[in-house]
Amino acid sequence: MPDDYSNDQANKGESEHSASAIFGELLRQAAAKSIPGKSAPGAEDAAKDGPDSPESAANSAAANDDEISLEPEAAAPSVRRIRRRLFLPRPQPSSMASGFLGTVFVVVLSTALVATLLMFFVNPEYVNPAVVQGLQLESEEIIAGVSAGRPTPVRTPHWLRRIGIISGHRGKSDSGARDPGAICEDEYGNSILEEADINFAVATRVVASLEGMNYDVELLDEFDPRLNNYRAEALLSIHANTCYDFGEYVSGFIVAISEARPEFGADAFLRECIAENFGAYVPLERSYNLTDDMTDNHTWRKIHPLTPGMILEMGYMLADQAVLTEDPDLLARAIVDGILCFMDNVNRPTSQLAPGRHASGYIIPAMVTPTPIFGR
Instruction: Identify which has the larger pLDDT, 28 or 376.
Output: 28
Q: Indicate the range of 13-22, 101-110, 189-198, 350-359 predicted with least confidence.
A: 13-22
Band (pLDDT 50/70/90 cuts) for residue 47 is very low
For residues 148-155, average pLDDT: 53
For the domain spanning 158-375, the CATH number is: 3.40.630.40
Task: Say whether pLDDT at 43 is over 50.
Answer: no
The C-alpha atoms of residue 290 and residue 286 are separated, in whole angstroms, by: 11
Per-residue pLDDT at 286 exceeds 70:
yes
Percent of the chain at pLDDT above 70? 64
Summarize pLDDT for 157-173 with one digit per residue, the tens.
Answer: 665 789 999 999 999 88
Nearest to 260 by CA among 133, 370, 137, 135: 133
How high does pLDDT run on average in the chain? 78
pLDDT (0 to 100) of residue 167: 97
> pLDDT higher for 141 or 106?
106
Q: Strand 254-256's sheet: what is its strand order?
A: 216-220, 162-167, 234-241, 309-316, 254-256
Any idea where the domains of the chain sit in the sequence? 158-375
Strand ranges (DSSP E) for the chain?
Answer: 162-167, 183-185, 191-194, 216-220, 234-241, 254-256, 309-316, 356-357, 363-364
CA 295 – CA 273 distance, rounded (Å) = 18
Q: Flag whether the pTM goes above 0.95.
A: no
Look at residue 176 and tell me whether its pLDDT is greater than 60.
yes
- Among residues 266, 216, 228, 237, the alpha carbon closest in space to that of 165 is found at 237
More confident residue, 75 or 358: 358
> How many residues are listed for the chain in this entry?
376
User: Looking at residues 51-71, what average pLDDT do you find?
Assistant: 50
Q: What is the mean pLDDT of residues 188-210?
A: 96
Comparing 221 with 128, the larger pLDDT belongs to 221
Ramachandran class of 303: left when φ > 0, alpha when ψ lies in -120 to 50, beta otherwise: beta
The distance of Cα 210 from the centroid of its chain, to the nearest Å, equals 44
Of the listed ranges 89-98, 186-195, 252-261, 282-291, the least confidently predicted one is 89-98
Look at residue 315 and give its three-state secondary structure: strand
Rounded CA-CA distance 27/47 in Å is: 19
Residue 313: its pLDDT value, please?
Answer: 97
pLDDT in tens, 306-363: 999 999 999 999 999 999 999 999 999 999 999 999 998 876 666 566 777 776 778 8
**Alpha-carbon distance 236 to 203, whole Å?**
10
Position 172 scores a pLDDT of 87
pLDDT exceeds cutoff 90 at 142: no
pLDDT of residue 174: 78
Task: List, for residues 211-222, the tens digit of each pLDDT value.
Answer: 999 999 999 999
Write down the pLDDT at residue 183.
96
Q: What residues form DSSP beta bridges with 178?
A: 172
Q: Name the pLDDT band for 191 (thresholds 50, 70, 90).
A: very high
* Spatial distance between the Cα atoms of 173 and 346, rounded to a whole number of angstroms: 33
pLDDT for 99 equals 80
Q: What is the DSSP string of 239-271?
A: EEE-----SS----BEEE--TTS-TTSHHHHHH
Per-residue pLDDT of 211-262, as tens digits, reads 999 999 999 999 999 999 999 999 999 999 999 999 999 999 999 999 999 8
Rg of the Cα trace of the chain? 55
Q: Which residue has the higher pLDDT, 182 or 174?
A: 182
